[in-house]
Amino acid sequence: MKYKTMQYWHKLEHFYPYILESQHNENIKTFMIHGKEDFPKFDRPDIPKNMQVRYYEVYLGIFKADSALNVIAKRLRAEKEFQDESDERSCFCKFRLDPRGHFDKGSFKVSSFPWAVQRVTQEKIYLEKWDDDFHKFQELFFMKLFAAPDAITYEMMEDIIKYVSASIGWEIVFDEFWLRMDRVIGEYRQPAKTDVLEKDEEDYDINTVVDELVKANDLLNSFFVRDLERINAQIQKGNYGKALDESSI
């Protein structure tokens, strides 16, 4: 297995956009947000009786994947032959809000794709240690979200995406609905009652199914990049299995 081969795949992974999937479940309502009037009302949600908001899953900085791939192909002076034309959407990052609209600090995940586009547009494709640079990119989002003392607002989301876009020189046009929020609800439960174990288990099963649907939209590619970085380091040391050994083919 040649180290340069692994480097090639390592860099190629940066250029594959995370694809945002639609939700089709009665307990998940998607807010496609273009303007302030589309933003959900945390203090008075319009939900069925005997139901409660469990959380909001937020997807910030939505753009068409094709438009981004076209920019990369143009910058690399290459034809975009690796993917058919599509109408798929991707996004910058995702995170979760509690029912009151407060940022869940442990939920933040960022896509490596916008960062990779930045590297291409700045003609800085070759990077020995990408991790520090990628960490700085993450902090562009983190700092403003962590600093939020109250519920997230439309204006705050708009400020963040403008700030990050300007910071990385983002040339790609955002989708008309650049922000999406999936409101996840579940059956209202009285916290004081402990004598309805079977009902609790039923609610738990329903909530688990809904949570798995939400989890399907995880932004995992930034974690894949870290895995590939570790693989690269091991290959440099000659630590790899028979399956990666070209001499065994």
**Tens of pLDDT along 89-101?**
888 888 999 999 9
Question: What is the predicted pLDDT for the residue at 151?
Answer: 92
Q: What is the DSSP letter of 178?
A: -
pLDDT at 163 over 80: yes
Mean pLDDT of the chain: 75
Tell me which residue range forms the domain holding 96: 3-248
> CA–CA separation, 12 vs 220, rounded Å?
15
Comparing C-alpha atoms, which of 3, 217, 244, 17 is closest to residue 114?
A: 17
Total count of domains within the chain: 1
What are the start-end ranges of the E strands in the chain?
28-33, 51-60, 63-64, 89-90, 93-97, 109-110, 179-187
- First-residue to last-residue Cα distance in the chain: 10
Considering the entire predicted model, what is its pTM? 0.72
CB 33 within 8 A of CB 177: yes
6: amino acid identity, one letter: M
Q: What is the pLDDT of residues 21-38, one digit of tens each?
A: 888 899 999 999 999 999
Confidence of residue 230 (pLDDT cuts 50, 70, 90): low
Q: What is the pLDDT of residues 57-78, one digit of tens each?
A: 999 999 887 777 777 667 666 5
